[in-house]
Amino acid sequence: MTDIGLGGRTRLDRDRLLRLLQDYGVHLGVAVLLLVNIAITPHFLSAENFRTQAVQVAPVLIVALGMALAIGSEGVDLSVGSVMALSTSLLSLYLGYGMWIALLVAVLGGAAVGVANGALIAYIGVQPIVATLALMVAGRGLAQVLLPQLKDVHDPTMASLGSGDLLGIPYLVLIAVALALLVAFVVRRTTFGRQLLAIGDSRPAAKLAGLPVRRVLILVYVCSGALAAIAGVLATARLTASDPTSLGNLMELSAITAVVVGGTPLSGGRVRIGGTVAGAVLIQLLTATLIKHDLPPSWTQIAQAVVIILAVYAARERGRR
């Protein structure tokens, strides 16, 4: 920028402030919500409360990690909620063979949905929103065919996975944190991560640079599917029941919200894992705050909408750069 005219400096400062706000606004939001709650919400500052919040946010966060990859590749994955349902059905069906086998089958099921999504997008050229919409409908249907109604899960290992902890930290939270670190590592340090970002930023350029565009896209949706399946397994463990009808309903929207609020642009080319984590936490805290103050659920939705609009507004400013 060679804008050194009158007022150029102040504009530069404002630009920088705006950019900082865009990049770290979500973290700021989390901090503000925490402070507000500490001030006005009784019993907020208790280990038990934090535990509850963290356990509730874990599945959303895990799904959002996969969603961040899909969005970073200039796509989206609407099938994640249905994949959660499918994984709970598979888990429940195969639990007789032992928990680890059932777990493996559930995750493989999610990965298979990812292969289908990726193949439709990469080879047939279907737009991601349409391809994953198809799998969203098909996945939920298949889940309900496999397991027509709610079924309790009586497995001690599953139960301990859902409610046990290590040094006071629930397994669910530990797993979510580990996965977030893993995905962040993949994005930053692997060829796959770099290629994903290049493809998301400029598909024609990536193609002409000889990148394996199709392979990368399929892998993106496989990751997203597998992560959603893991989220489904963990949610099942927490509820100690498989409910393919309602598990994961509207999860795709919560995940997209977390990703967008976290500052990952929908136009692709950028994946912010830290922001996604903060985005998921922000929405969780917002919901919790309103519930604790006995506001009706509709208020929660309105508040979410406001946060999304703010995030999109920030993204628009970023897109102009």
Partner 1 sequence: MLPVTGSGAPPVAGPAMLSVSGLGKSFPGVRALDGVDFTARAGEVHALIGENGAGKSTLIKVLTGVYKAGEGEVRYDGSAVRFATPLQAQHAGISTIYQEVNLVPLMSVARNLFLGREPRGRLGLIDFRRMHREAQEALRGLGVRVDVRRPLRELGVGAQQMVALARAVSVDARVVIMDEPTSSLEPREVATLFGVIRMLRGRGIAVIYVSHRLDELYEVCDTVTVLRDGKAVHTGPIAELDRLRLVALMLGREIGDVREEGLTKFSGNHDTEAQPVLEATGLTVRHQLDGVSLTIRPGEVVGLGGLLGSGRSETAKAIAGALPPDSGRVVIAGVPVRTGSTPAAIRAGVSLLPEDRKAEGIVPGLSVRENIALAALPGLSRFGLVDEARIDRVVDTFMKRLRIKASGPHQKVGELSGGNQQKVLLARWLAMNPKVLLLDEPTRGIDVGAKAEVQKLIDELADDGLGVLLISSDMEELIEGSDRVVVLKDGAVVEELTGDAVTEDRLMRAIAAAPAAQATTPATSGGDDD
Residue of 20, 38, 209, 291 interacting with partner 1 (CB under 8 A) = 209
Min dist. Cβ of residue 105 to partner 1 (A) = 26
Q: Is residue 207 a contact point for partner 1 (CB under 8 A)?
A: yes
> How far is the C-alpha of 234 from the C-alpha of 177, rounded, in Å?
13
Contact 236, 153 (CB under 8 A): yes
Separation CA 64–CA 226 (nearest Å):
12
Among 46, 127, 191, 301, which residue interacts with partner 1 (rule: CB under 8 A)?
191
Q: Is 124 in the site for partner 1 (CB under 8 A)?
A: no
d(CA 40, CA 33) in angstroms, rounded, equals 10
Strands 151-152 and 241-242, bridge-based pairing: antiparallel
Q: What is the C-alpha to C-alpha distance for residues 227 and 245, in angstroms, rounded to an integer?
A: 20
CB-nearer residue toward partner 1: 163 or 202? 202
Regarding 11 and contact with partner 1 (CB under 8 A), the answer is: no
Range 50-89, binding partner 1 (CB under 8 A) = none
* 12 forms part of the interface with partner 1 (CB under 8 A): no
Is 197 one of the binding residues for partner 1 (CB under 8 A)? yes
Question: What 3-state class would DSSP assign to 242?
Answer: strand
Long-range contact set of residues 186-194: C-beta below 8 Å, sequence gap at least 24 = 186/223, 187/69, 187/72, 187/271, 187/273, 192/216, 192/219, 193/271
210 binds partner 1 (CB under 8 A): yes
23: contact with partner 1 by CB under 8 A: no
189 binds partner 1 (CB under 8 A): yes
Could you tell me how many residues of this chain bind partner 1 (CB under 8 A)? 21
Which residue of 19, 51, 151, 194 would you call a contact of partner 1, by CB under 8 A? 194
**Minimum separation from the CB atom of position 258 to partner 1 (A):** 21
Which is closer to partner 1, CB of 74 or CB of 77?
74
- State the first-to-last Cα distance of the chain, in angstroms, to the nearest integer: 12
Judged by CB under 8 A, the chain residues 265 through 284 that form the site for partner 1 are 269-270
Told to check if 125 binds partner 1 by CB under 8 A, we report no
- Tell me how far apart the alpha carbons of residues 117 and 133 are, in angstroms, rounded to a whole number: 9
SS3 of 47-73 = HHHHHHHHHHHHHHHHHHHHHHHHHHC
State the minimum distance, in angstroms, from the CB of residue 215 to partner 1.
Answer: 10
Nearest CB to partner 1, comparing residues 46 and 190: 190
- Site residues (vs partner 1, CB under 8 A): 189-192, 194-195, 197-198, 201-202, 204-212, 269-270
